[in-house]
Every structure is written in structure tokens, then in C-alpha cells.
A = this chain, B = another copy of it.
Amino acid sequence: MQKKYRKPKLKLIPLGGLGEIGKNMMVVEYDNDILVIDCGLMFPEEDMMGIDLVIPDISYLLERKEKIRGIVITHAHEDHIGALPYILPQLNVPVYCTRLAKGLISVKLKEGKALEAAEINVIEPGKPFSLGCFKVEFFPVCHSIPDAVGLIIDTPIGVVVHTGDFKLDYTPVYGEPTNLSRLAQVGSKGVLLLLSDSTHAERPGYTPSERVIGEALDTIISRAKGRVIVATFASLISRLQQVIDAAANHNRKVFVFGRSMSDNVKMALELGYLKAPEGVLGKPEELRGLPPEKIVMITTGSQGEPTSALVRIANHGHRQVSIVKGDTVVVSASPIPGNESLINRTIDSLFKQGAEVFYDQLSQVHVHGHASQEELKLVLNLVKPRFFVPVHGEFRHLTIHSRLALDAGVEENNIFRMEDGDVLEITPNSGRIAGRVNSGHVYVDGLSVGDVGGVILRNRRMLSRDGIVVVIIAVNRQTGKLVSRPDIVSRGFVDTVESKDMIEEGKELVARIVDHSGKMEADLSSADSRVRDELNRYFFEKTKRRPMILPVLVKI
């Protein structure tokens, strides 16, 4: 007979992704210790109107502040560090990360005026450190930013491996390949639980090495007759290195455009993540004097961001650069879902102005940073976990990754496709989703965090569809009678000149309703809702539109 397991259970709780489970924040809890993995932000979805950013709801953590031993960062992308300026001041715990991550986090906290109070510890891969009952070790992984790591977490009931965002890449451009030997080592000793990146679990085969891009860029630059403009992610520092190398190789100078790109190049040069041979990086004032075949530009805008350097160049909106025939543009990125049409519009515009454009549909000018199916299977095979939780993906990715785990020998009952807020409880022998905690997400809009909720968004959506009709009803405070004819002002509803007659009839309708109501408060408020209903009906009949109707009562 199996004994009842009496020790505390290991808990695992993904928090606050918009469907991408455990990407922005993952809570690991055992008895009196909590370790938080990553603290990222999400970009608003289409129907989150006017929202700037979305961050995880951390009410679960706020109720257990004294248990939190620290936040461990796997790598310095926005979806893993971007919520720190909002959340770190609330939790006030130390942060543990690699050197580059510290650099980028510091910039972020400084902007948010939260740097001074923060304790950020740089951790070397392979050197374990303790957080409460947990012993954490970083192991290097390849991803689309340098200094990315996965985690080996020694817990009181067994070892947890978290891959972070990763791909294998045996020939990376910067740093070490993903440390498979270390994974094999811990795997052979026995791993309780594996959390592994599912972002690209839909893709069969292997993700190509970053190295292939270097060759493609070199060929493009060697053949280009005029200037070459390369747009990519500002954090993809190995790609910048490849551009600089190819430019140097063909005696071109490199000029950097876009604020985030300039900031990152400067920082990466200072910290040694980027190397440029003497004289290859050009100063802005040198640009004018150089012939086109001596120029390479690196810009932001690979996602079609409207205010980025590339998009301003494409739309004649850049002070220094405009496209001329003979220019070559390389969009060295693939679209983040949702950005497709912005990017396509930019490419179309560049073609219209006579540029030669290379983009991912046409040539291999980008490889992504996540493992494909064969890599995921290899990791499952080396780590041989008892329990498996696919993370960093939407539910279909988790499902597909789960099947890979099943094929790799993990027992079906030991695989958990989680949703945000689910609590997975694990003992050495069993696991189950034991409940749910308050999860969800919090909107950042302008200066305020969390004040925009469902009602405000519902109103914005309604306003966006058919506009607003404001009805001004001025009545005598004593008699409740109209003191002047009701007025109607609309915005975003109809063309006010063309629809003059309809609006005038609307005013008549309001006047009749108010004239027939009594003078008491209750009568007025019922008149208010009758005005709303009848105007709604009247305007819908006339236009098949449903503007927001806002009666305003002025009592004189």
C-alpha cells in the first residue's frame, strides 16, 4: 500500500500570460519558499483599445511577499523582464540574472526610477546559488539574444529543469551552444520535472543555426551595388555582429539608426558582446561623404513599427535617409504574429521606391530563436523527466509538445498542459492540478496601472464602432420642464451635414419624451433611460448603427 505523502508538495503556478502559458512569469513554491521565474510584459491584443502594456496579476505573490526569495531571469527579452519596473517595487526582492540581462534591466529600471532600490545579482552559468530551500544553477542556452540561460533547480523533492526560451544551435554566432552535456548529466541522475519551451512545437525538423544568416548577409552585401539597409531586432546582438562582419569584409562602413538600436549597440560594445574592427562603425557626419557602395545601415523597424527608422525611411519621413533606386533592404526578422500587415506595407513601400528587398518569404535572411520538434525531442530524451510541463506557448503548442513527450516516454498522466493560474502540485511520485489561484492580467494605460478594467474597455470598443451621441436636456429644477430645446452633439456617428434631418427629428423625439415625464427625480431618471432606448431604436432603424447614447441632464 502506498503511504500518504506527508511532506510539503512542490507547487508550480504560471501567472498572467495572454495565452502563452508560463512565458511571462512562473512561480515555484515549496513550503516557506517561493522562487519567481521571469517577470515579463505582454503587448495588448487588438481589442484592448488604448492599452499600452499588459502585465501579470501578482495578487497571489503579494499575499505571500515574505516567502519570495527572489526573481530569476532567463533572458532579457521584454516578455521576460518588461514587467520588472512595475512589479519589482511592489515585491522588493533580489533579482538574479546574467550580465547582459543586468545591463538591460538596469536601463529599464532607471527609466522607471526603480533602479536605486533594486538588488540585481549577476550569476555565472554553472555556479549554483541558493534561494531558500532551492539551489539554482544557470546553464547556457542559445536564443535570439546573448546570455540566455535555462535553469536547473534543486528542490527538496527532486530536480526541476526549465529550458527558458531556447534552440540548440551547435554553431552559434555568439557564446556557447546550449549545454547538452549538462542536461545529459542531470538527466542521468534523475529529473523530477522538465519545463520546456513550446513556442515552435508546431515546426518539424531542426531550427537552422544563426550561422547560415551570416553567409546570406555576406552574399547580399557582396552583390549589392548601392547602399544596404538591414533591419532587425535591437536585442538580436549576434545578428548585428554578422552585419558588422559582412560590412567589414566588403569594405563598407556601418551606420546605426533608431534609438533602441543605437542604445543597444553602444551597450553591447561596452560590455563586449559586440566587436567592431577599428573604423567600421561610421559617425553620422561621415554618411554624406561616402559613395553608396561603401555604406551599410542597421535600423530598427523589422516589425513595421510606425515610428521606427525603417518605416520612416520607407514612408519619406526620415530626416537623413530616403530610398533611392539601387538601395538594398534586408528585413532580417520574421513577423511577430499580428504584425504581418504592418511589415508587408513597409516592404511594399520600399519596393515602390525602387529598392531591392530581401525578406523572410523570399530568402533565408532570418532564423528564429526557438527549438523545433527534433530539438524538443532531443532535450526530452536527455533530461528523461518523470513529470513534464510544456511552457511558453499557446494551448495548441502545449498539446503538440505533450505528444512529443509522450512519444519520448513520459507517462501520459505525468504530462500537464496548464493554464494561467493553475496550481500543479507535485510529490516525488504523483502530480495533479490541485486548484487555481487569482491570475489574469493588469492593464497599463498611460501613467496608471490597473485602473482600466472591463467597463472602460467595453466603452472604448462601443465608441470605436459607431461613435457617440450626446443629448443635452436642460430642465427647470422646480418644474422638471424643459428650459430650452434638447440638443444633440455627435462624434464618429454620422456625417452631421448629410444627416441633419435625422438629428433634428431625434431632438423632437427627446423633447416629446421629456415633456411627458413628471418633474420628480425618479421621473427624470426614467426619462433618461427612455431617451436612451428610443434614440437607440430610432437611430438603428435609420442607420443600422448603434452609437453610444449619453443623455446629459442640466438642472437650472
Contacts and interface: CB of A to CB of B under 8 A. Distances in A.
Interface in A287-346: 337-338, 340-341, 344-345
Given A456-B493, A554-B487, A465 B50 contact: yes
A448 B543 contact: yes
Interface in A451-483: 451-453, 456-457, 459-461, 463-468, 470, 472, 474, 483
Nearest to A51: B465
A446 B484 CA distance: 32
Contacts of A400: 362
Contact of A351 (B395, B445, B447): B395
Contact of A489 (B359, B399, B550, B556): B550
Interface stretch (A136-144, A175-183, A494-502): A494-502
A460 B453 contact: no
A19 interface: yes
Main secondary structure on chain A at its contact with chain B? mixed
Nearest to A540: B446
B447 A542 contact: yes
B552 A552 contact: yes
Given A352-B395, A395-B348, A491-B550, A464 B49 contact: yes
Nearest to A453: B495
A45 interface: yes
Given A19-B348, A338-B341, A544-B447, A50 B456 contact: no
A523 B341 CA distance: 47
A172 B550 CA distance: 57
A9 interface: no
Contact of A202 (B349, B361, B468): B361
B348 A484 contact: no
A467 to B, nearest CB: 6
A218 interface: no
Q: Which of A345, A357, A468, A494 has the most CB of B within 10 A?
A: A468
A537 interface: no
Contacts of A487: 552, 554
Given A46-B46, A548-B491, A556 B484 contact: yes
B351 A399 contact: yes
Nearest to A495: B451
A348 B349 CA distance: 35
Contacts of A452: 494-495
Contacts of A19: 345, 348
B344 A492 contact: no
Contacts of A499: 451
Contacts of A351: 395-396, 399
30 contacts: A49-B465, A50-B466, A202-B362, A338-B340, A348-B394, A349-B395, A351-B395, A351-B399, A362-B400, A446-B466, A446-B543, A447-B543, A448-B543, A451-B495, A453-B495, A456-B467, A456-B493, A460-B466, A460-B492, A461-B464, A463-B491, A463-B492, A468-B491, A470-B550, A472-B472, A484-B555, A484-B556, A489-B550, A491-B548, A552-B552
Q: What 3 A-B pairs have minimum CB-CB distances, sorted nearest first?
A: A446-B544, A464-B464, A463-B463
